[in-house]
Structure 1
Amino acid sequence: MKNVYIVGICGTAMASLAGLLKSRGYNITGSDTNAYPPMSTMLKDMGIEIKKGYSKENLEGIIDRIDLAIIGNVVRRENVEAQFIIDKGIPYYSMPSFMEEFILKDYRVLVVAGTHGKSTTTSMLATALEEMGENPSFLIGAIPLNFSQSFKVSKGEYFVIEGDEYDTAFFDKVPKFIHYRPFSAIITSIEYDHADIYPDFEVYKSQFVRFSQIVNRDGILVLKDDPIVKGTISQNGVKRLFYGDDASSDSYIKGISYQGEFMVVDASVNGMSISYPLRVYGYQNALNSLAVITLLGGLGYDMKRIASALENFKGVKRRMEFLGEYNGVGVIDDFAHHPTAVRITIDAVRRAYIDTGRYRRLIAIFEPRSNTSRRNIFFEEYSKAFTEADMAIISRPYRKGDGIKDELDVNGVLQNLKKYGIKGFSGEGIEELKRIIQQNAQPYDLLLFMSNGDFGGLVWETINLLKGEA
């Protein structure tokens, strides 16, 4: 079993799996309709061929050499390649079921789940174990800057993996994290998301209940200490540790401050006071780091040693990633798309860059692209999510051809922002958005781009515009 074909290879998790398999000696080929950085760049650098689009022609010349196929969760039942693979009798798996059967059974698996903060917390956990000499394997839906790739296979004891609650594939209708054999786990948050597959919050929450019930009884379940998480995840025989900002938690943040390029976190962990610097900003990142310290401390590692390891964490691509300053205008790229993530990201960037005097104004530029953010279900939340920005520029919701009827009312959101004194603009396409940015961006402004996709190339086109190269 050496020749693997991946349908939907450029998704964040699928590209990570492709790289992982390539590193283990598999021959990998795949296809996708959307290939964009950073995952497309990572695949190209590894010499993995990406066939553009889905067609029988992609497969006809190689079908006899394919040992198995992995089909992504974005691929629908009627996909021509998926049907061709099934009709030809090629063994096929979802990404999580492949991981469960062929990879994870050899490790103690540490899973990071939750609505928000999964990629960063998973990256922190992998980095801390690496810095402490534990040589972990990992698979993350983003690229940690400490590793320059989203996966690693090693002979260490632990496999660290990001646990997504989205469903697995059209033929495997369970959340991805159900397949991951968790020895121990972190749940960072539970807030309604994925409205395209979960009809209401109760159904959504039930996925995390199901996940919590498969954590190994010899492991640890680390939970964010908030009413929703505590009210959802009941005691089930697994040791539970809580973290948050309340002194009743096992671990809690006492305060944060900014000192030069570092954010310093003061915390209490199991009654021990610790203070440690981080190279990443924002209260959410302080909580993410505390979740890691709580888990690894519960597994027996020294608290101060964990905190020292986290000092070397450099961040994650497209998670408040500072791309540079161009003619006096700073540019940050971020993956935020849920309204809570948008609000938290804007707040963190303001505190780190505006309140400290590094920049004068914060201009938030947002693309409603995810299946949830394109819908009007979070209209009120988006109307409040941008209140810490000085200006908001929001594109029209991304069109996927699925004909959703309850599309986010972008103009209504911008109208509501006027109540908070925030100037806002909407744009129909990349050229119009570039024009709006060019007309408004000034030296000492900071542009914060937020999208869970490539935003049509807007980020780098804007950088070229600021450099005078457009």
Structure 2
Amino acid sequence: MWIIIKEKKAGTLQKAFLYTMQKLHLIAIGGSAMHNMALALHEKGFIVTGSDDEINEPSKSRLAKAGLLPEEIGWFPDKIKGDLSAVILGMHAREDNPELIRARQMGLKIYSYPEYIYEATKEKTRIVIGGSHGKTTITAMILHVMNFLKIETDYLVGAQLEGFNTMVSLTNTAQYAVIEGDEYLASPIDKRPKFHLYKPNIAIISGIAWDHINVFPTFEIYVDQFKKFINLIEPNGSLIYCSEDKVLDEVCRTTSNTKIDKMPYSVPKHQIENGTTYLLVNDQKIPLQIFGNHNLMNLNGARLVCNKIGILNTQFYEAIQSFKGAAKRLELVYKKDNFNFYKDFAHSPSKLKATTDAVKKQFTKRKIIACMELHTFSSLNEEFLAQYKDSMNLADEAIVYFNPHTIAHKKLKEITPEQVHACFNRKDLRVFTKSSEVTDYLKSKKWKDSVLLMMSSGNFDGVDFNGLAQNLSPS
């Protein structure tokens, strides 16, 4: 069935969007990104089915509410039928997945997650946010401003944002698509980095710090992915980049893509007064709810992106004052009197330094206790551990946690607390291998005039941060 939707703006017919009513099957529908894709496609009016061998919360409840939760857990090749418009393959699935094998045998169109995002947005102005860190925050800032100004956009973001029902939205009428561009692999059968598939009209890169050692075994190979990304920007497009990152600055200045406009950004003028950060703009002091040089650089990059789609600086500054940050990105868990508790997604060495530095500068008269979890493949890799040297030295007290069972699950070589201690190069570093030991230690401390910063891409093996906060005494 063909459907035509006509969009009118200011009394003028702007564009007619033509598309087919699609029937789509999602292999690995329960993943964080994939279940949001399912919800977005369902909202668009498409017929959506899916399968997975494990579906946890909140995916399970959200899929069930939309009527999309599979009746049975597991893989069922019989679900792959000839009337499917396409199959979308999640990263959680394996190459020998029985549903994938059936789809290939039948010659069905198979998209990776990022391939389908491009397919759905290829007629739109695509804004792609890349970088080793800050992607989600920059994406969230741009979306916050566009939402504040009531500018419709499709989007893909890596966290649940306040004011947005899903992490993915695909419409028939939006002129823009704001896409968080992850550098990890597209799918089990497509080994290209996700952000290579989006072909941006406007691209922003926040920084380059080696990550995903299991996919990019050397720093040079990792950096090369960003060079390729730049060369995939559409002709007459724009590249906005953080010039304070020396590696990124060199890459962007020397790239061979001469058909694009390049715009560097850095930390904007600002000051901190009584725990609040203010932007200094044309003799104005603009109060923010976020802080730290990384967040301020992210803000400046987001502003330049917004300028590219016609948003004025005055509009941007008005909107950004109400931005509270993205989930797990220096997110305030608890605040009482002279005690603050933040959680952050930081896990790479450069981000640990930047996040700790931001908190220390914001709370100059408080003791900073930083606690991080080694959770990613890279951080638990014996060869990569050396990158963490001095990464937690800015904190007044530092704690590192890792779970040996996680290392075994990832089939990595065992590491010891002694190795971790030596690699971080801090004599008073505390290293724990049980999450209960971490929480017991934190509960034993007095938190007067202190800030607790817990950093991980995981959750310290199920720690209830809100519950923990209630058990920490600031007296």
Shorter-chain TM range is 0.7 to 0.9
| Map 1:29-44 → 2, pairs under 5 A | 29-31=50-52, 33=54, 35-36=56-57, 43=63
What whole-Å deviation, never above 9, does each CA across 1:324-358 have from its counterpart, x for those lacking one?
25899654222221111122222223333x42x5x
Structure 2 CA distance for partners of 1:42 and 1:123, relative to 1, 3 Å: farther
In structure 2, what residue type is equivalent to 1:239? Answer: D
1:317 partnered with 2:327: yes
Distance 1:81 1:110 in 2: 33
Structure 2 CA distance for partners of 1:9 and 1:342, relative to 1, 3 Å: farther
Distance 2:72 2:359 in 1: 36
In structure 2, what residue type is equivalent to 1:217? Answer: P
Distance 2:72 2:462 in 1: 18
Query: What is the CA distance between 1:314 and its match in structure 2?
Result: 2.3
Conserved? CA contact 1:257–1:265, under 8 Å = no
1:362 partnered with 2:368: yes
Query: What is the CA distance between 1:445 and its match in structure 2?
Result: 4.7
1:304 partnered with 2:317: no
Partner of residue 107, structure 1: 124
In structure 2, what residue type is equivalent to 1:303? Answer: N
Conserved? CA contact 1:122–1:140, under 8 Å = yes
* Higher helix residue share: 1
1:384 partnered with 2:401: no
SS at 1:377 equivalent: coil
| Map 1:133-282 → 2, pairs under 5 A | 133-154=150-171, 155-225=173-243, 226-233=245-252, 234=255, 236-245=258-267, 253-259=268-274, 262-266=276-280, 275-282=285-292
Conserved? CA contact 2:293–2:358, under 8 Å = yes
Distance 1:455 1:342 in 2: 16
Query: What is the CA distance between 1:220 and its match in structure 2?
Result: 1.3
In structure 1, what residue type is equivalent to 2:56? Answer: A
Distance 1:433 1:80 in 2: 42
SS at 2:270 equivalent: strand
SS at 1:106 equivalent: coil
Conserved? CA contact 1:117–1:188, under 8 Å = yes
1:49 partnered with 2:55: no
Structure 2 unaligned spans of 5+: 1-20
Partner of residue 436, structure 1: 441
Distance 1:323 1:224 in 2: 29
Structure 2 CA distance for partners of 1:199 and 1:345, relative to 1, 3 Å: same
**TM (normalized to structure 1)?**
0.83
| Map 1:455-466 → 2, pairs under 5 A | 455-460=460-465, 463=468, 466=471
Question: 279, 303, 315: which is aligned to 1:293?
Answer: 303
**TM (normalized to structure 2)?**
0.82
Partner of residue 248, structure 1: none
Distance 1:350 1:46 in 2: 44
Supply the RMSD in Å over aligned alpha carbons: 3.2
| Map 1:381-460 → 2, pairs under 5 A | 381-389=387-395, 390-396=397-403, 398-399=406-407, 401-405=409-413, 410-415=417-422, 419=426, 422-428=428-434, 430-440=435-445, 442=447, 445-460=450-465
Structure 1 unaligned spans of 5+: 246-252
Distance 2:67 2:109 in 1: 24
In structure 2, what residue type is equivalent to 1:431? Answer: S
Query: What is the CA distance between 1:444 and its match in structure 2?
Result: 5.5
Query: What is the CA distance between 1:162 and its match in structure 2?
Result: 0.2
Query: What is the CA distance between 1:122 and its match in structure 2?
Result: 0.7
What whole-Å deviation, never above 9, does each CA across 1:361-418 have from its counterpart, x for those lacking one?
433332212121111334344232222222314223533634222x555433335667
Partner of residue 8, structure 1: 28
1:21 partnered with 2:11: no
Structure 2 CA distance for partners of 1:81 and 1:459, relative to 1, 3 Å: farther
SS at 2:217 equivalent: coil
Distance 2:142 2:126 in 1: 12
Query: What is the CA distance between 1:274 and its match in structure 2?
Result: 6.8
Structure 2 CA distance for partners of 1:419 and 1:365, relative to 1, 3 Å: closer
Partner of residue 250, structure 1: none
Structure 2 CA distance for partners of 1:313 and 1:21, relative to 1, 3 Å: same
SS at 2:334 equivalent: strand
SS at 1:388 equivalent: coil
Conserved? CA contact 1:223–1:242, under 8 Å = yes
In structure 1, what residue type is equivalent to 2:264? Answer: F
Question: 339, 349, 356: which is aligned to 2:349?
Answer: 339
Structure 2 CA distance for partners of 1:329 and 1:254, relative to 1, 3 Å: closer
Distance 1:92 1:411 in 2: 47
What whole-Å deviation, never above 9, does each CA across 1:163-222 have from its counterpart, x for those lacking one?
111111121121111211311110111121111011212211111111111212222110
Distance 1:423 1:263 in 2: 30
Conserved? CA contact 1:71–1:94, under 8 Å = yes
Distance 1:150 1:217 in 2: 29
